[in-house]
Structures are given as C-alpha cells and as structure tokens.
C-alpha cells in the first residue's frame, strides 16, 4: 500500500525525470532548479514542468544556457524562471 498522494507521486517522478535527462548539463540545469523549488510548486506548475520534461534535451540546453532564445511558442514563465535561475537573465 502506497502512503503518498497523487501529487506527491507526480513530484517524485518529476524530480527523477528532471535530474536524469540523459545529458549531464541538463541533469544539473533542470534537476537543480526542480529540486530546490519542487515542494512549493502547485499542481498547475507541476503540470507545466511535466510538459517541459517532454521537450528534447538539446532544445532545453540551448534555451536554458542562452545559446538560443526560447521560441515564442515555448516561452513560458516557467522556462524563463529556469533560465534566470541559471543566471542568464531575461532574453533580449
């Protein structure tokens, strides 16, 4: 018998996915962001992160490091917060 709520289960899965992306760079960038904020995220914010976790690693690495701008169709407050937490600041 599992003693966690569905939201807690989603948080655990999200933390694992965020820190096991497949590339060390994204494991650090995304995993650290999620690990330090996960407990405070609402169910809606967790849903946004779950969608972000479906995006290709190469895109995320480029966007989060500032190598390329986040395209308008993916430019969400969550991705901007992830990039800014990395120290990249707002996009020009």
6-85 CATH choice from 1.10.3210.10, 3.40.50.300, 3.40.640.10, 1.10.150.250: 1.10.150.250
Q: Once rounded to an integer, what is the mean pLDDT over residues 46-51?
A: 96
For the chain, give every domain's residue range.
6-85
Predicted local distance difference test score (pLDDT) of residue 86: 81
pTM of full prediction above 0.85: no
pLDDT digits (tens, 9 = 90+) for 57-69: 999 999 999 999 9
Residue 22 pLDDT = 84
Q: What is the DSSP string of 1-63?
A: ---S-HHHHHHHHHHHHHH-SSSHHHHHHHHHHHHHHGGG--HHHHHHHHHHTTS-HHHHHHH
Q: What tens digit of pLDDT does each residue of 7-44 get?
A: 999 999 999 999 999 889 899 999 999 999 999 999 99
């Amino acid at each position: 018998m599992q003693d966690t709520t569905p939201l807690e289960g989603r948080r655990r899965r999200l933390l694992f996915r965020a820190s096991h992306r497949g590339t060390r760079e994204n494991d650090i960038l995304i995993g650290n962001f999620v690990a330090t904020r996960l407990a405070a995220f609402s169910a809606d914010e967790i849903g946004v992160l779950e969608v972000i976790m479906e995006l290709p690693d190469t895109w995320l690495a480029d966007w989060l490091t500032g190598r390329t701008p986040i395209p308008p169709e993916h430019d969400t407050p969550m991705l901007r917060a992830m990039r800014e937490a990395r120290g990249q600041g707002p996009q020009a």
